[in-house]
Structure 1
Amino acid sequence: MRMRAWITALAVMLLSAQAWAVSNIEGVRLWRAPDNTRLVFDLSGPVQHNVFTLAAPDRIVIDVSAAGVKGALDRLPLANTPITGVRAGQQDGNGLRLVIDLSAEVTPRSFTLEPNQEYGHRLVVDLFDKGSVAVASRPPATATPSTPAPPVSPNRPATRLPAPSREQRDIVIAIDAGHGGEDPGAIGPAGVREKDVVLSISKKLQSAINAEKGYRAELVRTGDYFIPLRKRTEIARRQGADLFISIHADAAPRTSAYGASVFALSDGGATSETARWLADSENRSDLIGGVGNVKLDDKDRMLAGVLLDLSMTATLSSSLNVGQKVLSNMGSITPLHKPRVEQAGFMVLKSPDIPSILVETGFISNPSEARKLQTASHQQALVRSIHSGIRQFFQESPPPGTYIASLRDAGRIAPGPREHVVRSGDSLALLAQRYQVSLPELRRANNLRNDVIKIGQTLSIPAPTLAGEP
């Protein structure tokens, strides 16, 4: 019996070794981002690899253990990239050597990915242009051992600096098209991909916002390439964003699920993010000391925690405010999945200093909604509704020093109706002070007999009196 068990175990080990040995490169794909080039090698199975650089001439060498090549490597669109060619050769011991010939110096990063709903095993190699912001960050859960940096246009500001006092700056909205490149997002009927739909909607939204004086929209992702989640908010911060809006298309196991949604950060997500920033002194100094409105790097830990918590609370309140306005406007042109802004711990919403929302434009897994989401007319209708919600929010609360703020100060923009969703710690007196209205006015606007309010309750906020009004 022992001999039979030993033979069985040996057979399993041999089969496993053979399965590992037959991993092949079946093809290669390429994406070009503003400051890096991504190569993705499609594999028939898992591999181990090692990457190093050689000079004179510049080239990247990738040694892949126990692998071969079945697909073509010479049909890549290499224009506007530092790559001049990709070649492969077998090594002794059943190994494979890939060589990437270069026309310019680059910094490589590499990792492997497990299969997903569209692709099998993959080896990803990112080549960062010389001088780009190629900051390594924590790899994705399925990746080893590194991850790419965000594509940042050299024409965009490196830090979030206040505008000169003599000028009235634009309000900046960062629009983040979800997924991209190797990450297709949800896949609907007939192969429609979330990454393509949301990029199209994002570009239309950018055009609509930029057509209005006093606003400027910046795309976080301008093409079909991947950006790590936390890097998306870093790009928004470099763009000087006053609002971050991430565009997605939902999916569900049931194809009958339908409707648009808007998300803001959950209370638990805000708490964990505050702790993360406080635990990382370098991040704390860079975020708040360098580009935010509160300087923390000269404060003790307790005071820094209080200030950062206040910043996160104010940002989350603004996120819920703008989110509800966007959701209400979207409800006029498409069914809603939920009538109120939902809250979750999405990574892209965890910016302590930038109001952030995630918009699910519909369920791409629903055949009817998938068809609508692909049409230019429905995309344009979604854009109009999202734009209206953004405009309403900033007409009520324009950032100081902006053109829109100057219109408000001159009485040329009347504030529209406002809503506030009651959160833990809110009181009627504090809300009256925050929105610059009297306590009796706030009671009358909501038919309140006393000052008792409940968490989750939606309050109507009356407009403050403009200069020159009786």
Structure 2
Amino acid sequence: MSFLLKKRLLVFLLTLISLVANALGSPVFVRDLKAWQEGGCVKLLIFLEKEVSYKVGFLKKDPLQNRPSRVYIDFAPARISNEVPSSLELGSKGYKIRVGQFDSNTVRVVVEGINLCYHKVFKLDFPFRFQIELYEEKSVTSQGMQPLTVVIDPGHGGKDPGAIGPTGLKEKDVVLKVAKILREKVEKRLGWRVILTRENDDFLPLEKRTEIANKVGGDRFHLHSL
């Protein structure tokens, strides 16, 4: 085999390896997880570095193995950060949430004790996160209809501080805190689905804020201003 042919073969192999590596993708880190309960609905916020593939599955109760009914959500390719709690327990219904590295390429979130009727998944940016809502059959039956979706937009953020008080308090920090309190109260008192356009100190242009509202099918859009 001539030197030129060997060189071409080497270049081809290196290119092929690079293409395969890119196709497989580098694992994305799961940075944080938050969860709360609203009646028969479990809501999860899962923060990642960027978007990855996900899969939602349901396993029925297995009395022989003493295993409760459970929902699992797989993210791949993904790795779990040390900051993410390995387990959580929610409210009076005793829902248990486990998070772990299912295999070298997959992070699995498991919710135990929920009889899943249907679920909804929203993808949000700044930072990238999945909002996953799991509804129990009895909850859906008793409500008779799906709840309204309200999008709350905490104004300003990031490079836009808004008004700054004499003590240095920034409007962007106040509206974010108020928006989170408002979300909690609306969900608890009205049972509506609430999504924030931003969860952290990030700047979003106006068109991005309305894009989020349209993406999640918001019935109401609240622009927060103080």
Normalization by structure 1: what TM-score?
0.30
Structure 1 residues 82, 223: CA separation in 2 closer, same or farther (over 3 Å shift)? Answer: farther
Q: Does the aligned pair in 1 maintain the 2:98–2:110 contact within 8 Å?
A: yes
Q: Please, which of 50, 53, 71 is the counterpart of residue 55 of structure 2?
A: 50
- Alpha-carbon distance in structure 2 between the residues aligned to 1:114 and 1:5: 40
- 2:207 is the counterpart of 1:196: no
Q: Does the aligned pair in 1 maintain the 2:89–2:95 contact within 8 Å?
A: no
Deviations 1:251-298 (A, max 9, x none): 9979xxxxxxxxxxxxxxxxxxxxxxxxxxxxxxxxxxxxxxxxxxxx
User: Would you tell me which structure has more helix in proportion to its own residues?
Assistant: 1
> Which SS does the other structure have where 2:22 is aligned?
helix
User: 1:40 offset after TM fit, Å?
Assistant: 1.7
Deviations 1:320-362 (A, max 9, x none): xxxxxxxxxxxxxxxxxxxxxxxxxx9647xxxxxxxx8867x
Structure 1: 5+ residue runs without aligned partners?
A: 135-148, 152-175, 204-218, 229-250, 255-345, 350-357, 365-372, 374-470
User: 1:38 offset after TM fit, Å?
Assistant: 0.5
Provide the residue aligned with 1:31 in structure 2: 36
Provide the residue aligned with 1:83 in structure 2: 95
Rg larger in structure: 1
Matches within 5 A, 1:149-160: 149-150=146-147
- Alpha-carbon distance in structure 1 between the residues aligned to 2:124 and 2:18: 22
- 2:84 is the counterpart of 1:72: yes
- Alpha-carbon distance in structure 2 between the residues aligned to 1:100 and 1:347: 26
Matches within 5 A, 1:367-446: 373=226
Structure 1 residues 186, 8: CA separation in 2 closer, same or farther (over 3 Å shift)? Answer: farther
User: 1:62 offset after TM fit, Å?
Assistant: 2.4
- Alpha-carbon distance in structure 2 between the residues aligned to 1:106 and 1:253: 37
Give the AA of the match of 1:32: Q
> Which SS does the other structure have where 2:189 is aligned?
coil
- Alpha-carbon distance in structure 2 between the residues aligned to 1:22 and 1:15: 11
Provide the residue aligned with 1:106 in structure 2: 116
**Percent identical residues:** 17
Provide the residue aligned with 1:129 in structure 2: 136
- Alpha-carbon distance in structure 2 between the residues aligned to 1:37 and 1:223: 16
- 2:19 is the counterpart of 1:13: yes
Normalization by structure 2: what TM-score?
0.55
The aligned length equals: 175
Deviations 1:293-328 (A, max 9, x none): xxxxxxxxxxxxxxxxxxxxxxxxxxxxxxxxxxxx
- Alpha-carbon distance in structure 2 between the residues aligned to 1:5 and 1:96: 35
User: 1:12 offset after TM fit, Å?
Assistant: 6.1
Structure 1 residues 87, 199: CA separation in 2 closer, same or farther (over 3 Å shift)? Answer: closer
User: 1:68 offset after TM fit, Å?
Assistant: 1.9
Q: Does the aligned pair in 2 maintain the 1:68–1:95 contact within 8 Å?
A: yes
Give the AA of the match of 2:125: P
User: 1:197 offset after TM fit, Å?
Assistant: 4.7
User: Would you tell me which structure has more strand in proportion to its own residues?
Assistant: 2
User: 1:29 offset after TM fit, Å?
Assistant: 0.7
